[in-house]
Chains A and B, each alone.
Chain A
């Protein structure tokens, strides 16, 4: 082969600057940053929708929006938070951290990585544009249950295409993570030496690959029911709407773990650092994550106890659900045991770490309550469920991401964040979160159904409290944006280690790490 061709090939290391740097980048750090910024924007957007919901529920009666728009808000809020904020946020962490943690120069498939990200803004635009269609956005809840979605307007079609695109992005991201972790670990970085964050993401990636085709198939069948005369789920044509619930939750329950497992990984990085002790029970943590992932495939019908299953089925799904408490309990125990007699300090990441352990446990316990079949007949489709999954997804996933951001932000930017403001952010977030969502347990137990724009008078006080908390929580997140922005722009210089002797290869690099490679060779002992 001619030398000239080789020489020509050699110049692709130069990359554009300015806007084109971000559009064409294949660098894992750039793409991680893009994912995190996108996730934060969607988090604010989904949060704004939540505030529309809480404004309407501030008082009984209809004051702010009409019921149809209210339903659109509940639906799109959830879709945006699940597919636009939490999942891309976690992928952002994966992009930034996995190559640094396993000693790889980049992700295995950098161009695919770029594509995975740039699908997202278009998918989000498609989802948002559903509001502009004749019938408005989807209004059937994020579960997109048939036959209501079969009857919806064009907004449902746009939503189906949007979730397809989001699914493609997730699957491509998952494939990239699997290939990276399998093939690009530094010599000596054996599987059982990998940081737990890498383990949790590896298992999450397998979950994504296993369940995304199910979701893609489900929404495509919805589409064909709507437009091509099939009757998979349409009872008018002999279809079975309950089958949609089964197929949705076969995807939906692992999806919950897709959102929470990487959060477990982040917490497992934070707690040992600020306890100044190695993670207690590393092997059991890995096995617990794998156990949770496996169990997530066999418990889906606990979301549909009231649908009219045979008693045997109800009992099976109840006991299978109870089993999840075992590996989850192992994890909680190990985090607490890591802190036990540690030289603990409470910088902002640790505050979030401890906060997540405490609040997620509340969400886990209310999940156990929901898993008890006869009790679930009372709680089903009430605000108790809303409280439960917000304790899992906000104070589990979202707060773990906030803690992870504070933990790794000095490494990413080379500057320390404002510790005082960070602590303010934690306390305001935790307090307002509990004001917003703890009363919803009582509302649910008292029988207030979810997804309603109006309610009986006896629910007023708790709804007022909840709405005040929600607005406080929303405004507090602007502070988070300011703290991160301030840290990016400048601040006290961060050292390589940032914290007091943290574990992991990423801390052997300077802060911020070089764009492409490492100045100090890693030592994987």
Chain B
């Protein structure tokens, strides 16, 4: 039995993100022979643990706020509540964005780039035989390179969550896959 994807390369020790490149070699949801790259930023804590952290902070802040409330200094409590609300919003936002990722799927005829950002899923589709990959160096030495894929003058940027070296590798791999198709 083959797994759905056989991972060619799975990097796990990058600062900025993780790239998983796979090629379909058995039964799965994508056509056989297609190429798939998934790019997701590094996240070091699970959503559950972030929620636990917020709950702990809430308990501490509310305990302090309620203690002063019991002494008649009630105005501490609204500030504690406001602060916890901000912490909650920020952590909620972080959790919502923790599953952000990009998928580049090269099938027999198409290149499909799907970006998952929060609740939004955006997809761009290009004809495989016209698609090309462009790796632009940073405008200055201090800026990162930019990896774009597209055709007919329309390009989308991919791989912003990974570092320059990984972008170079991803670029080379995508070029190889597209070249093989021609």
Assembled-state Cα–Cα distance A524/B42 (Å): 14
A175 touches B86 (CB 8 A): yes
> Is there a chain A Cβ closer than 8 Å to B43's Cβ?
yes
B residues near A186, Cβ cutoff 8 Å: 13-15, 42, 44
- 0/1 per residue, A320-343, Cβ < 8 Å to B? 000000000000000000000000
> Which one of B13, B65, B87, B156 lies within 8 Å of A7 (CB-CB)?
B156
Q: Which A residues between 211 and 232 are near B, CB-CB below 8 angstroms?
A: 211-214, 216-218, 220-221, 224, 232
> Is there a chain B Cβ closer than 8 Å to A13's Cβ?
yes
B87 touches A516 (CB 8 A): no
B156 touches A3 (CB 8 A): yes
Segment at the interface with A among B29-37, B70-78, B173-181: B70-78
> Is there a chain B Cβ closer than 8 Å to A235's Cβ?
no
> Is there a chain B Cβ closer than 8 Å to A209's Cβ?
yes
B residues near A217, Cβ cutoff 8 Å: 65, 68, 73, 75-80
Number of interface residues of B (CB under 8 A): 65
Smallest Cβ-Cβ distance to A214: which chain B residue: B76
Indicate whether A247 sits within 8 Å of B164 (C-beta atoms), given known contacts A104-B15, A187-B12, A521-B13: no
Smallest Cβ-Cβ distance to A522: which chain B residue: B15
Segment at the interface with A among B1-9, B20-28, B113-121: B113-121
Interface bin, chain A: 35 or more
B83 touches A214 (CB 8 A): no
> Is there a chain B Cβ closer than 8 Å to A188's Cβ?
yes
B45 touches A210 (CB 8 A): no
Indicate whether A175 sits within 8 Å of B73 (C-beta atoms), given known contacts A1-B123, A515-B143: no
A209 touches B122 (CB 8 A): no
Indicate whether A10 sits within 8 Å of B42 (C-beta atoms), given known contacts A171-B83, A179-B91, A210-B61: no
> Which one of B44, B76, B125 lies within 8 Å of A182 (CB-CB)?
B44
Q: Which A residues between 497 and 525 are near B, CB-CB below 8 angstroms?
A: 505, 514-519, 521-524
B73 touches A221 (CB 8 A): yes
- 0/1 per residue, B114-136, Cβ < 8 Å to A? 01000011111100000000000
> Is there a chain A Cβ closer than 8 Å to B139's Cβ?
yes
A residues near B122, Cβ cutoff 8 Å: 1-2, 5-6, 9
> Is there a chain A Cβ closer than 8 Å to B157's Cβ?
yes
User: Could you write out 9 A-B pairs with CB less than 8 Å apart?
Assistant: A3-B150, A5-B122, A10-B157, A103-B15, A213-B64, A221-B73, A232-B73, A519-B165, A521-B13
The chain B residues found within 8 Å of chain A, CB to CB, are 12-16, 18, 41-45, 49-50, 53, 57, 60-61, 64-65, 68, 71-73, 75-80, 82-83, 86-87, 90-91, 93-94, 98, 113, 115, 120-125, 138-144, 146, 148, 150, 154-157, 160-161, 163-165
